[in-house]
């Protein structure tokens, strides 16, 4: 149960005072009935967004919320980095949500593909924690032809990246073409994929993540598109 004014304020609809004014102006309805008391206690059922309206529109999905996005090129994953961020692709009001939304790991500005965004700290931790070995798969386009030796170099668990003190965990490389490969890693070190190819004398010219665990980037999600991740899809991440 949550107080209506706190629920709406936490979803970014305004301060407690502002959302109380919305209620006073008969702008909030539950099951088609106007709610008159900003202090009303609301049961946080999964179907709440389809039962409650604010100014005639369905309530934003309450926490915990996880989104799947097809991150386009040229947007950043951090609030602090310069440039347009993935958060700007979401509704403006969501920037004021509490708990706030954060990306699960990061993709570089010049990397596209599957990105998860959540306000669920426990879920975020499960996905990024090295203990859970969640596989992340990337399609990599390279500047120079692959010579095939990279497969063993990446698989043997001894590759050391510049200025690091522990070797990388084994990674799986599938060669798809002269300059095209799929790389699956279970860690998330800084610029890991680009640095792995730099370590074998190559250079990544395009990078796209197409899978996390057994969750693939859906074909109907174009660059910049996003939607709420279903519980079944969440489960695929750990399958
Ligand atoms: N590895 C990289 O180098 N960049 C990414 O964006 C993701 C993995």
Please check whether residues 206 and 222 belong to one and the same domain. Answer: no
The model's pLDDT over 197-228, given as tens digits with 9 standing for 90+, comes to 999 999 999 999 999 999 999 999 999 999 99
Ligand 1 mean position to 212 CA, how many Å?
13
* pTM of the predicted model as reported, rounded to 2 decimal places: 0.95
**pLDDT (0 to 100) of residue 98:** 97
- Answer whether 193 contacts ligand 1 (Cβ < 6 A): yes
Which residue has 């949550």 as its token pair? 2
- Answer whether 78 contacts ligand 1 (Cβ < 6 A): no
Please check whether residues 73 and 15 belong to one and the same domain. Answer: no
The per-residue pLDDT of the chain, averaged, comes to 97
**pLDDT (0 to 100) of residue 4:** 98
Q: Which residues contact 187 (CB under 8 A, 6 or more apart)?
A: 130, 168, 169
Closest ligand 1 atom, CA of 136? 8
- Answer whether 65 contacts ligand 1 (Cβ < 6 A): no
Please check whether residues 50 and 92 belong to one and the same domain. Answer: no
Ligand 1 mean position to 19 CA, how many Å?
41
DSSP letter at 85 equals B
CB 44 within 8 A of CB 67: no
Ligand 1 mean position to 208 CA, how many Å?
9
Of 69-78, 125-134, 140-149, least confident by mean pLDDT is 125-134
Q: State the total domains in the chain.
A: 3
Please check whether residues 119 and 221 belong to one and the same domain. Answer: yes
With CA atoms as reference, report the closest residue to 124 among 105, 99, 98: 105
CATH code, domain with 39? 3.10.290.10
152 carries an active-site annotation: no
Which residue has 């596989």 as its token pair? 135
The model's pLDDT over 44-93, given as tens digits with 9 standing for 90+, comes to 998 999 999 999 999 999 999 999 999 999 999 998 899 999 999 999 99
Q: For ligand 1, atom 3, which residue shows the shortest CA distance?
A: 191
Range of the domain at 103: 66-129+214-237
- Answer whether 108 contacts ligand 1 (Cβ < 6 A): yes
Q: Does residue 218 sit in helix, strand or coil?
A: coil
Please check whether residues 105 and 73 belong to one and the same domain. Answer: yes
**pLDDT (0 to 100) of residue 82:** 92
Average pLDDT for 145-156:
97
Average pLDDT for 105-120:
98
Of the residues 5, 47, 74, 108, only one is catalytic, namely 108
Examine the pLDDT at 31 and tell me if it is beyond 90.
yes
Examine the pLDDT at 130 and tell me if it is beyond 90.
no
């Amino acid at each position: 149960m949550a107080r209506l004014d706190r629920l709406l304020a936490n979803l970014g609809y305004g301060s407690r005072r502002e959302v109380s004014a919305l209620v006073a102006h008969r702008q909030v309805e539950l099951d088609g009935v106007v709610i008159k008391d900003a202090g009303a206690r609301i049961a946080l059922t999964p179907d709440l967004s389809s039962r409650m309206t604010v100014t005639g529109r369905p309530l934003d999905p309450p926490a915990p919320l996880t989104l799947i996005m097809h991150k386009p090129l040229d947007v950043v994953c951090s609030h602090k980095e310069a440039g347009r961020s993935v958060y700007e692709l979401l509704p403006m009001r969501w920037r004021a949500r509490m708990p706030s939304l954060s990306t699960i790991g990061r993709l570089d500005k010049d990397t596209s593909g599957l990105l998860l965004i959540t306000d669920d700290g426990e879920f975020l931790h499960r996905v990024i924690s090295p203990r859970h070995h969640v596989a992340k798969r990337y399609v990599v386009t390279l500047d120079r032809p692959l010579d095939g030796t990279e497969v063993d170099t990446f698989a043997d668990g001894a590759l050391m990246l510049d200025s690091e003190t522990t070797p990388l965990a084994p990674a799986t490389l599938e060669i798809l073409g002269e300059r095209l490969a799929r790389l699956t890693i279970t860690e998330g070190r800084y610029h890991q994929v680009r640095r792995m190819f730099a370590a074998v004398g190559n250079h990544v010219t395009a990078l796209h993540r197409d899978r996390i665990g057994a969750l693939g980037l859906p074909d109907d999600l174009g660059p910049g598109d996003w939607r709420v991740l279903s519980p079944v899809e969440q489960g695929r991440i750990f399958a």
